Amino acid sequence: MTSPHQAALLAAAALVNMTDSEHDHLSDEAALENLLRTIDWWTEADCGLSDLCALRSLRHRLRALWPGSEAVAVSVVNQLLHKFDALPQMVRDGGTENYRLELLAPDGSVAAQLAIRTSMAVADLVQRGELHRLRLCARPECREVMVDLSRNGSKKFCAGRCGNRAAVAAYRARNASSGAVGDICRSGRHPARDIDP
Ligand SMILES: [Zn+2]
């Protein structure tokens, strides 16, 4: 289960990854609905063209967060909190009787909520010295933005095709090396004894 900060960062990454040098995959309201279905904290049913435009605009600002430069991240966070009028409010903490202080988006739009939630999550990464968790996929042909939620922060590839591709390559490499050992064993020859003096 992801924390609210992790969920915000994953949603921000999903939004940023909806464009590349050739295509914009956030091109219509159907694409918007697909994106919103992946955001587990977004429960509103209605979204329209204004949300689509606002998210496309927000995407450019969020893109600057990858790869994580502290100075840029701090600047983006402060700009977003200012632009979307982040409002500190006391709210119930989950289903408990306790309260906590949270920044809310007065206009309630998905873009405003995503901007403010992502800002809080990035601020937390900066404070903990973990901004490196925002980085690009290591496969040069891909370069999607990713959020490394692994315990030791060593994830190299995005969760989609690249992660699967890397796993398949590692599996084949392991099989190839164990196969080579098997061939030697089956041949009954020892490599060291086959070298001519
Ligand atoms: Zn990738």
Q: What is the pLDDT of residues 144-169, one digit of tens each?
A: 999 999 888 888 888 777 877 777 77
Q: For the residues 95-124, what does the mean pLDDT come to?
A: 93
Task: Please say if the pLDDT value at position 184 is more than 60.
Answer: no
Listed by start position, the domains of the chain span 4-150, 160-197
**Cα(168) to centroid(ligand 1), Å:** 14
**Region 57-75 average pLDDT:** 94
pLDDT at residue 185 above 80?
A: no
User: How would you write 41-105 as a 3-class SS string?
Assistant: CCCCCCCCHHHHHHHHHHHHHHHCCCCCCHHHHHHHHHHHHHHCCCEEEEEECCCCCCEEEEEEC
CA distance 4 to 153: 18
pLDDT at 149: 92
Of residues 101 and 172, more confidence is placed in 101
167 CA from centroid of ligand 1 (Å): 12
Q: Mean of the per-residue pLDDT values for the chain?
A: 85
Q: Which residues have CB atoms below 5 A from the ion given as ligand 1?
A: 137, 139, 142, 144, 158, 162
Pick the CATH number of 4-150 from 3.30.70.2860, 1.10.3300.10, 1.20.1250.20, 3.30.930.10: 1.10.3300.10
Do 158 and 142 form a contact (C-beta atoms < 8 A)? yes
pLDDT at 194 (0 to 100): 41
**How confident is the model over 78-107, as pLDDT tens digits?**
999 999 999 999 998 877 889 999 999 988
State in Å: Cα 160 to ligand 1 middle.
Answer: 7
Q: How far is the CA of 81 from the centre of ligand 1 (A)?
A: 30
Tell how far the Cα of 98 is from the centroid of ligand 1, in angstroms. Answer: 41
Reported pTM: 0.80
Give the Å distance between the CA of 14 and the centre of ligand 1. 13
Centre of ligand 1 to C-alpha 145, Å, is: 8
| More confident position, 64 or 152 | 64
Of 49, 138, 137, 154, the residue nearest 146 (C-alpha): 137
Separation of 141 CA from ligand 1 center, angstroms? 8
Say which residue, 127 or 39, is predicted with more confidence: 127
pLDDT for the residue 143: 80
Instruction: Flag the least confident range among 120-124, 130-134, 162-166.
Output: 162-166
Give the model's pLDDT for residue 12: 96
What is the whole-number distance in angstroms between the Cα of residue 18 and the centre of ligand 1? 13
Query: 169 C-alpha vs ligand 1 centroid, how far in Å?
Result: 14
Q: What are phi and psi of 77, to 5 degrees?
A: -60, -50
Distance 154 CA to ligand 1 centre (A): 14
Q: What is the pLDDT of residue 162?
A: 86
